[in-house]
C-alpha cells in the first residue's frame, strides 16, 4: 500500500522590509515619532528658534555714539517704543487693523449668508470659486493693480468725474487722517486695498459657521412664532458669530504685519511693518526692529485669548 506524503511549501525568508514593517507595527509610538518628529523639529528650530532670537535681540540696544549693537540686557529699547512718534505708529497700525476687520465682517457676512442659505449647489460652487480666485493671482500684482485703479488718472477718479461728484472725492482727500494727494497715496486707499485683500479670509470662516447652523433650529424658531428678523438676531447670528471672530483673526493679524500695501499706497506715515523693515534694514537698529515686532505678537496673543473665549477656533 503506497503512502502519500504532503509537502508543506517552505516559506521564503523574511525580507528586510517585512521585518521593518513588523518592527514598526509592534511599536506604534515609534511610527508617531517618525511622522511628527521632522515637522516638530523644523517648527521648534526654525520658527520658535527665530522668535526666541528675536526676543533676545529686543533686550539689546544701539549705542548712540558708535552705532554698534550693545549685547547686554537692557530695557532702553522698549522705552523707545513709548516715544510719541513710535506710539503714533502703533496706534495707526492697530486702528487700521480694527477698521479693516470691521469693514470685512460687514461686507463678508451678507455674501457668506447667501452662499450658505440661499445659493444652489451650482451657484455655491461658482461663488466659492469667485471668492478664491483672487488668491490664485500674485499678491504684488493685485496691490499694484489697485494702485493704478486708485490713481488720479484711474477708474475711480474717472467715475467720480463722470457723474459730477468729483467734489465728494476731493472732500474725502482733504480730511486730515484719511486723505492725501490721491486715493493711491492716502490712508483711505490703504484701507480700501486692505479690505479687498483680506476679504476672502473673512468670507470662508463665516460661510463655514453658517453652514453648521442646523436648519431645524431655524425652522423651530419660525414654528414658535418668531419673525425672520428675530430668528436672525437671536439664533443665526449668535451661532455664526464664532465664524466672524475666526475670520477677524486673519484680517486683524495680516493687517498688523503687512508692509507691502502701506509701502505701495501710503505716504510718509509709517505702519508697524514698515517700521520694522526700516529699522532692520536702513538704520541697522536691529534691537528696535525686534522690539517693534514683539508688539503685534503681544496684541495677537491678547486677541487670540479673547477669540478662544468666544469659540472662534471651532469655526476654523
pLDDT (tens digit, 9 = 90+) per residue, 179-193? 888 888 889 999 999
> Can you give the pLDDT at residue 1?
47
**Correct CATH for 80-315 of 1.20.120.430, 3.50.50.60, 3.40.50.1480, 1.10.3720.10:** 1.10.3720.10
pLDDT digits (tens, 9 = 90+) for 215-271: 888 888 888 888 888 888 888 888 888 888 889 889 999 999 889 999 888 877 889
Query: Where would I find the H helices in 179-259?
Result: 187-211, 215-223, 228-231, 237-257
Q: What is the dihedral of CA 201, 202, 204, 208, to 10 degrees?
A: 140
pLDDT at 6 over 60: no
pTM to 2 decimals? 0.82
Q: Quick check: 286 pLDDT over 90?
A: no
In which band, very low, low, confident or very high, does the pLDDT at 195 lie, cut at 50, 70 and 90? very high
DSSP readout, 243-262?
A: HHHHHHHHHHHHHHH--HHH
Cβ 194 vs Cβ 262: under 8 Å: no
Query: What CA–CA distance (Å, rounded) separates 52 from 50?
Result: 5
Give the model's pLDDT for residue 10: 53
Q: What residue segments make up the domains of the chain, in order of their start?
A: 80-315
Amino acid at each position: 500500500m503506497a503512502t502519500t506524503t504532503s509537502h508543506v511549501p517552505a516559506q521564503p525568508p523574511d525580507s528586510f522590509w517585512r521585518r521593518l514593517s513588523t518592527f514598526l507595527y509592534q511599536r506604534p509610538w515609534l511610527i508617531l515619532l517618525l511622522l511628527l518628529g521632522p515637522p516638530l523639529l523644523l517648527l521648534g528650530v526654525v520658527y520658535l528658534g527665530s522668535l526666541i532670537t528675536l526676543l533676545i535681540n529686543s533686550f539689546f540696544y544701539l549705542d548712540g555714539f558708535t552705532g554698534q549693537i550693545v549685547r547686554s540686557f537692557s530695557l532702553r529699547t522698549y522705552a523707545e517704543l513709548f516715544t510719541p512718534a513710535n506710539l503714533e505708529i502703533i496706534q495707526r497700525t492697530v486702528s487700521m487693523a480694527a477698521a479693516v476687520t470691521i469693514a470685512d465682517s460687514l461686507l463678508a457676512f451678507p455674501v457668506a449668508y447667501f452662499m450658505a442659505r440661499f445659493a444652489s449647489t451650482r451657484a455655491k460652487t461658482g461663488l466659492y470659486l469667485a471668492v478664491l480666485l483672487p488668491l490664485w493671482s500674485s499678491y504684488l500684482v493685485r496691490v499694484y493693480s489697485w494702485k493704478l485703479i486708485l490713481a488720479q488718472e484711474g477708474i475711480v477718479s474717472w467715475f467720480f468725474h463722470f457723474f459730477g461728484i468729483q467734489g465728494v472725492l476731493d472732500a474725502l482727500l482733504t480730511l486730515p487722517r484719511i486723505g492725501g494727494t490721491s486715493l493711491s497715496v492716502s490712508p483711505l486707499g490703504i484701507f480700501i486695498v486692505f479690505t479687498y485683500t483680506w476679504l476672502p479670509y473673512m468670507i470662508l470662516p463665516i460661510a463655514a459657521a453658517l453652514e453648521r447652523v442646523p436648519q431645524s433650529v431655524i425652522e423651530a424658531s419660525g414654528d414658535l412664532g418668531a419673525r425672520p428678523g428675530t430668528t436672525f438676531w437671536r439664533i443665526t447670528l449668535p451661532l455664526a458669530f464664532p465664524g466672524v471672530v475666526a475670520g477677524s483673526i486673519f484680517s486683524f493679524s495680516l493687517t498688523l504685519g503687512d508692509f507691502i500695501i502701506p509701502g505701495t499706497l501710503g505716504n510718509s506715515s509709517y505702519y508697524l511693518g514698515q517700521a520694522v523693515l526700516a529699522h532692520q534694514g536702513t538704520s541697522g537698529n536691529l534691537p528696535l526692529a525686534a522690539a517693534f515686532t514683539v508688539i503685534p505678537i503681544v496684541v495677537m496673543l491678547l486677541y487670540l485669548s479673547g477669540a478662544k473665549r468666544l469659540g472662534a477656533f471651532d469655526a476654523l
